[in-house]
Amino acid sequence: MRNWAAKRGIDGIHYVSKMSAHEVGIVRSLVSSLVELLDEREGSAPHDELAELTGLRTGHSDAPSDGPLQRLLPDFYRPDEAGDDGVSREFAGDLNAALRSLNEPEIIDAKRSAAQTVLATLPEHAGKVSLTEEQAADWLTAVNDVRLALGSLLDITADHPEGRPGIDPARIDMYHWLSALLDVLVTAMLERAGD
């Protein structure tokens, strides 16, 4: 992947880069896996008859149990570990359950929509990627979601940027490549915003 560049066209600003067939394949595979993960989470939500009557969609009230989804769909409220905020863990759990049930379907929709933008704007094989500002924002969302999910699988943390021992170095390289992809796109967008 080369640097992203902001180019002005007759229909506005586009962020343009070129990707190799290998890079396109990696992005397509990872983003498709993200969509599947989100679809599975949404599809496993409990049936709610009241939601059918009111038209309000509801999702899970329980937090995801697997690491990647925990990173993508974290709790809304996390009480102070020391307990100094005056909120009981029980109250925090009830609050998170209610907020998750009401908001998770829309969050999943937004993440899936961003991922589908990435899939729709990738070249068939190698080639040029040209994104409107809105599409570029979707790329930031989806690529960051993939990066978070992959980082969770690899146990990458600030203290352990290379993940747990024994992880295939190619997977760590993939994580760092996604980070670089985000960095160069963000830089191009910030430079454009500064003009």
pLDDT for the residue 76: 85
Backbone angles phi, psi at 8, to 5 degrees: -90, 130
The confidence score (pLDDT) of residue 82 equals 46
Phi, psi of 139 (to 5 degrees): -60, -45
Q: Which of helix, strand or coil describes residue 9?
A: strand
**Which single residue is written with the structure tokens 């191009």?**
188
Locate the DSSP E strands across the chain. Answer: 5-9, 12-19, 127-131
pTM of the model: 0.88
Q: Where are the domains of the chain?
A: 5-194
| Residues 74-123 pLDDT 10s | 988 876 654 556 667 788 788 889 998 889 999 999 999 999 999 999 99
C-alpha of 194 from chain center: 26
Token look-up 């979601």 returns 145
The beta-carbon contacts of 149-154 under 8 Å, at least 24 apart in sequence, are 149/34, 149/37, 149/68, 149/69, 149/71, 149/72, 150/30, 150/68, 150/174, 150/175, 150/178, 151/71, 151/175, 152/67, 152/68, 152/70, 152/71, 153/67, 153/68
Q: What is the pLDDT of residue 90?
A: 81
Task: Reduce the DSSP state of residue 187 to 3 states and report it.
Answer: helix
Residues lower than pLDDT 50 in the chain: 82
